[in-house]
């Protein structure tokens, strides 16, 4: 079978949407760090919609860790398929907005030179929570992070995202070129302000004047939303059958997509609103809503669902007790902490439940369970803090936290080992080993991870009682019985 590429694009069957612009005419205006599946299902699609009329905003992607996306997309001239799936079927579309992909490890200088060039006016990022080398509980740069230590000692050959951004900005400063806007598209709370704080701190550790300069750079915040399960070999086969060519790395996703962007781009931007993005003055309420409602539910379903033997989120949604639990988590515990004038939160919740039910979207609980130590603070713990402040119960959120604690022990209810992926996995396994089968000791050990819980929650008695009680129940009566009990 032929491979998808510029040369074979014209052979794609008529029913498949392909780029409606001349790809030889488009030029890069955006560098995107972290060219994973999410970016290719989200921002790259919005940009693809705009390139016919705004050809100088194409994307050059960069992979900071593994060169797999580069290796897959290079023979395809950057082309790949986004397959939208729901009960009505699979709808493929070929995306052309990514001109090329650079591997930061082997092409670092090319990447920095491009980032420092005047054509690039936006550097966007999806490097996941852990890619910012920060302390998730406080949102501050983790100065002891090995990559940060490395980058401060070797600023011209950075490895980390903050190091790359600051080196490129330093070169622009030296050359008298206006800075690019830095746009984080990761699920961090107040991602614009948070990333600005981290990056500015890193810059000022390099030198004070650079810190001041970076402090004036625009870091527009965003709320990004589209569910993107990992692609499987079966997906590759399905897509090849539909587009009549082999695509080494198609993306499978849902019909829903949302992008809310803080309109702060002093050096210009593509008209993202023409592709359906919402440009707003303050994105924070949207981010909080999405993190607490969607991601908070996701993480809770991921830990409990995995432990209950459910492989996919849609399987979890087939269990009435789980649905009740998640409905209650959103309605009773998360929604009262949100202030969203003009947004119907009940309708938002119902739409989320429908999205979670999508039977065609094979979204693994294990995938969402990854990196919990980096995700919990903004997904569950912030909501819990607000509930504590208001003297309100948070049983379901507390169960979500307990389920994470149960999960990171690394052994499921059948005694099988769990592949726990998390930057703190080694430390958490040691804590679990020390605790043995003592749930209280496990709670005490894990809550002492202040980069996750802060010292306020570690010392909070109500928090401790709620979470430890649920944790005990998870061990004593098991996940399904505990979920049924807490769901009410
Ligand atoms: C998920 C998110 O893997 C995860 O942690 O909760 O990737 C989620 O699918 C997206 O944020 C949806 O926009």
Look-up of token digits 């769901």: 487
CA of 306 to the centre of ligand 1 (A): 16
The response to whether residue 300 sits with its C-beta less than 6 Å from ligand 1 reads no
Of 182-186, 340-344, 387-391, which range is least confident? 340-344
CA of 227 to the centre of ligand 1 (A): 6
How confident is residue 1, by pLDDT bands cut at 50, 70 and 90?
confident
DSSP annotation of 230 reads P
The response to whether residue 379 sits with its C-beta less than 6 Å from ligand 1 reads no
| Other Cβ atoms closer than 10 A to 173 | 18
Considering the domain architecture, whether residues 268 and 328 belong to the same structural domain is answered as no
CA of 110 to the centre of ligand 1 (A): 31
Residue 479 has pLDDT above 90, yes or no: yes
Asked if the structure places residue 34 within a domain, the reply is yes
pLDDT tens readout for residues 407-417: 999 999 999 99
Average pLDDT, integer, range 398-426: 97
The response to whether residue 422 sits with its C-beta less than 6 Å from ligand 1 reads no
The response to whether residue 226 sits with its C-beta less than 6 Å from ligand 1 reads yes
| Other Cβ atoms closer than 10 A to 300 | 26
Considering the domain architecture, whether residues 101 and 160 belong to the same structural domain is answered as yes
Secondary structure (DSSP) of 456-488: HHHT-HHHHHHHHHHHHHHHHT-HHHHHHHHH-
How confident is residue 191, by pLDDT bands cut at 50, 70 and 90?
very high
Asked if the structure places residue 3 within a domain, the reply is no
Asked if the structure places residue 4 within a domain, the reply is no
CA of 45 to the centre of ligand 1 (A): 17
- For the CA of 367, the closest atom of ligand 1 is 3
pLDDT tens readout for residues 48-75: 999 999 999 999 999 999 999 999 999 9
| Rounded distance between C-alpha atoms, residue 391 and residue 380, angstroms | 16
Length of the chain: 488
CA of 206 to the centre of ligand 1 (A): 34
CA of 366 to the centre of ligand 1 (A): 12
Number of domains present in the structure of the chain: 2
Considering the domain architecture, whether residues 93 and 17 belong to the same structural domain is answered as yes
Q: Which residue has the CA at smallest separation from atom 10 of ligand 1?
A: 227
> Above pLDDT 90, what percent of the chain?
99
User: To test ligand 1's pocket by mutation, which of 189, 362, 368, 370 has the most ligand atoms within 8 angstroms of CB?
Assistant: 368
How confident is residue 448, by pLDDT bands cut at 50, 70 and 90?
very high
The response to whether residue 298 sits with its C-beta less than 6 Å from ligand 1 reads yes
In contact, 217 and 115? CB cutoff 8 Å: no
Q: Which residue has the CA at smallest separation from atom 13 of ligand 1?
A: 225
- pLDDT at residue 411, rounded to an integer: 94
Considering the domain architecture, whether residues 203 and 250 belong to the same structural domain is answered as yes
Q: Residue 2 class from Cβ within 10 Å (0-12 exposed, 13-18 middle, 19+ buried)?
A: exposed
Considering the domain architecture, whether residues 197 and 309 belong to the same structural domain is answered as no
Considering the domain architecture, whether residues 438 and 357 belong to the same structural domain is answered as yes
How confident is residue 440, by pLDDT bands cut at 50, 70 and 90?
very high
Q: Domain limits at 380? A: 284-487
User: What CATH number did the domain enclosing 341 receive?
Assistant: 1.10.1040.10
How confident is residue 396, by pLDDT bands cut at 50, 70 and 90?
very high
- For the CA of 371, the closest atom of ligand 1 is 5
How confident is residue 162, by pLDDT bands cut at 50, 70 and 90?
very high
In contact, 91 and 45? CB cutoff 8 Å: no
- pLDDT at residue 461, rounded to an integer: 98
| Rounded distance between C-alpha atoms, residue 246 and residue 94, angstroms | 12
Considering the domain architecture, whether residues 387 and 246 belong to the same structural domain is answered as no
The response to whether residue 295 sits with its C-beta less than 6 Å from ligand 1 reads yes
* Integer angstrom CA distances of residue 342 from 285, 293, 475: 12, 17, 43
Q: Which residue has the CA at smallest separation from atom 4 of ligand 1?
A: 368
- What helix, strand, coil percent values describe the chain, rounded to 5? 50, 15, 35
Asked if the structure places residue 43 within a domain, the reply is yes
Q: Among residues 257, 280, 303, which one ends one of the domains? A: 280
Please report which helix (H) or strand (E) contains residue 63, including its range.
strand 58-63
The response to whether residue 227 sits with its C-beta less than 6 Å from ligand 1 reads yes
Considering the domain architecture, whether residues 230 and 136 belong to the same structural domain is answered as yes
Asked if the structure places residue 56 within a domain, the reply is yes
The response to whether residue 368 sits with its C-beta less than 6 Å from ligand 1 reads yes
Whole-structure pTM value: 0.96
- pLDDT at residue 423, rounded to an integer: 96
- pLDDT at residue 348, rounded to an integer: 98
Considering the domain architecture, whether residues 276 and 290 belong to the same structural domain is answered as no
Q: Among residues 233, 250, 280, which one ends one of the domains? A: 280
> Above pLDDT 70, what percent of the chain?
100
Considering the domain architecture, whether residues 247 and 379 belong to the same structural domain is answered as no
Asked if the structure places residue 1 within a domain, the reply is no
User: To test ligand 1's pocket by mutation, which of 38, 39, 295 has the most ligand atoms within 8 angstroms of CB?
Assistant: 295
User: What CATH number did the domain enclosing 217 receive?
Assistant: 3.40.50.720
- For the CA of 228, the closest atom of ligand 1 is 9
In contact, 163 and 155? CB cutoff 8 Å: yes
Residue 437 has pLDDT above 90, yes or no: no
Asked if the structure places residue 2 within a domain, the reply is no
Q: Among residues 249, 280, 311, which one ends one of the domains? A: 280
Beta pairing, strands 181-184 & 122-125: parallel
Considering the domain architecture, whether residues 292 and 227 belong to the same structural domain is answered as no
Asked if the structure places residue 317 within a domain, the reply is yes
Mean model confidence pLDDT for the chain: 97
The residues, any chain, with a CB within 8 Å of residue 257's CB and separated by 6 or more, are: 41, 42, 45, 225, 226, 276
CA of 204 to the centre of ligand 1 (A): 32
Q: Which residue has the CA at smallest separation from atom 8 of ligand 1?
A: 227
Residue 27 has pLDDT above 90, yes or no: yes
Considering the domain architecture, whether residues 268 and 290 belong to the same structural domain is answered as no
């Amino acid at each position: 079978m032929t491979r998808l590429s510029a040369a074979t694009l014209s052979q794609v069957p008529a029913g498949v949407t392909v780029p409606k612009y001349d790809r030889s005419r488009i030029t890069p205006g955006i560098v995107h760090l972290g060219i994973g599946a999410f970016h290719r299902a989200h921002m790259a699609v919005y940009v693809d919609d705009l390139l016919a009329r705004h050809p100088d905003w194409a994307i050059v992607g960069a992979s900071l860790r593994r060169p797999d996306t580069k290796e897959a997309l290079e023979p395809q001239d950057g082309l790949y398929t986004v397959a939208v799936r729901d009960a009505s079927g699979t709808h493929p579309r070929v995306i052309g907005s990514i001109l090329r992909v650079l591997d930061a490890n082997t092409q670092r200088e090319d990447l920095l030179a491009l980032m420092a060039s005047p054509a690039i006016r936006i550097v966007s990022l999806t490097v996941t929570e852990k890619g910012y080398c920060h302390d998730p509980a406080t949102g501050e740069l983790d100065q002891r992070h090995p990559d940060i230590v490395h980058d401060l000692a070797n600023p011209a050959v950075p490895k980390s995202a903050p190091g790359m951004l600051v080196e490129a900005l330093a070169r622009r400063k030296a050359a008298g070129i206006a800075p690019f806007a830095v746009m984080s598209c990761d699920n961090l709370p107040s991602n614009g302000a948070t990333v600005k704080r981290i990056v500015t701190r890193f810059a000022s550790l390099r030198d004070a004047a650079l810190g001041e300069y970076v402090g004036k750079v625009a870091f527009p915040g965003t709320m990004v939303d589209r569910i993107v399960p990992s692609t499987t070999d079966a997906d590759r086969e399905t897509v090849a059958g539909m587009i009549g060519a082999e695509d080494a790395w198609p993306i499978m996703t849902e019909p829903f997509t949302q992008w809310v962007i803080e309109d702060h781009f002093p050096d210009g931007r593509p008209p993202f609103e023409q592709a359906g993005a919402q440009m707003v003055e303050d994105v924070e309420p949207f981010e909080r809503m999405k993190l607490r409602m969607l991601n908070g539910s996701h993480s809770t379903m991921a830990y409990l669902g995995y432990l209950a033997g459910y492989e996919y989120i849609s399987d979890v949604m087939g269990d009435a007790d789980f649905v009740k639990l998640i409905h209650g988590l959103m309605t009773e515990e998360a929604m009262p902490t949100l202030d969203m004038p003009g947004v119907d939160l009940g309708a938002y919740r119902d739409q989320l439940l429908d999205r979670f039910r999508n039977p065609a979207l094979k979204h693994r609980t294990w995938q969402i369970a990854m990196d919990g130590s980096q995700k919990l603070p903004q997904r569950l713990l912030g909501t819990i803090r607000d509930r504590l402040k208001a003297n309100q119960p948070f049983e379901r959120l507390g169960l979500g936290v307990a389920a994470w604690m149960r999960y990171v022990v690394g052994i499921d209810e059948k005694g099988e080992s769990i592949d726990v992926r998390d930057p703190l996995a080694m430390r958490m396994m040691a804590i679990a080993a020390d605790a043995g089968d003592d749930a209280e000791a496990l709670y005490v050990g894990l809550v002492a991870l202040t980069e996750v819980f802060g010292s306020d929650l570690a010392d909070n008695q109500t928090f401790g009682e709620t979470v430890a009680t649920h944790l005990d129940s998870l061990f004593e009566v098991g996940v399904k019985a505990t979920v049924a009990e807490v769901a009410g």
